[in-house]
Amino acid sequence: MAAQKNVVVVGAGVIGLSTALVLSRHRNLSITVVAKHMPGDYDIEYASPWAGANYFPVGKPGSNLQRFERATWDELDRICREVPEAGIHYQDTRTYGRRKDAGTATGQWFEELTKEDAWFKDVVPNFRVLPKSDLPEGCDTGTEFTSVCINTAVYLPWILGQCVKAGVTIKRGILSHISEARSFHSSGHADVVVNCTGLLASTLGGIMDSNVYPGRGQIVLVRNEPGVMLTVSGTDDGSEEATYIMQRAVGGGTILGGCLQHHSWESQPDPNLA
């Protein structure tokens, strides 16, 4: 049997908790998660609880993001089928692309979603290209497929519980430098540190990643049930704005959005945008 290795995962957002849960399946690993923010917290530094959230594969073919998205679908599909209490449900999805949005922040964000030869066409169920006759005025591309929508207020506590059930130790702590992470392991020392700090990778000593910055979104939450998850690549109101509608699982309401504002840390709603 291989010798036990001690692992510290820094960060308890969806990436940190997912990483810890996957690593916990290896019996020779002893895992501790340390994080400033935990499920149940709401802070502008902690992105996960603010997410919509849904599965919209936007990674470019051949990129790391595309490979992650391909693997992620299989797990989300399994959870959706087998674990209803996790807060994920299937949604029929339609995406529309407008020619005028090419090159805008939101147009680039949604580019892969509206391609007729989308790489994920054989990954998600029921993919089809919408005929031109089914497209709204001003749109020149459109796709339809089955995806999922996640109620993050339910999902994050669920995946935290799965980590605890799997024997992962959870600690709340604030690091000023990544080198401090090793001492947070339950044994007092870690062999491996996994950085899942998300936004805080931009300010954490020893990392200070200048390529990490916030992409701010703002939404309106309503009670209506739209019956379909919908997105359009932009609006005529500004290059940072797009149209999307998604219904969160298990009574989480319906999101009307939204925007993508690069480099904005603003935590307060903008009434003009709403």
Residue 215, beta-bridge partner list: 262
What's the whole-number average pLDDT of the chain?
94
Reported as a single tens digit per residue, the pLDDT across 219-262 is 999 999 999 999 998 888 877 888 899 999 999 999 999 888 98
For each of the domains in the chain, give its residue range(s) and CATH number, in order of start. Answer: 5-262 (3.30.9.10)
Nearest 10 degrees: Cα torsion 259, 150, 154, 219: 20
Nearest-angstrom CA–CA distance, 203 and 154: 29
Task: Retrieve residue 83's tokens.
Answer: 């674990």
**96: annotated binding-site residue?**
no
Contact 38, 172 (CB under 8 A): yes
Nearest-angstrom CA–CA distance, 34 and 122: 38
Q: Is the pLDDT of residue 105 over 80?
A: no
**244: annotated binding-site residue?**
yes
Q: What is the pLDDT of residue 1?
A: 60
Reported as a single tens digit per residue, the pLDDT across 209-230 is 999 999 999 999 999 999 999 9
Q: Is the pLDDT of residue 141 over 80?
A: yes
Mean pLDDT in residue range 127-141: 94
Q: Is 151 helix (H, G, I), strand (E, B) or coil?
A: coil
Nearest-angstrom CA–CA distance, 219 and 57: 20
Q: Is the pLDDT of residue 156 over 70?
A: yes
Mean pLDDT in residue range 200-217: 96
User: Per-residue confidence at 46, pLDDT binned at 50, 70, 90?
Assistant: very high
Q: What is the pLDDT of residue 153?
A: 97
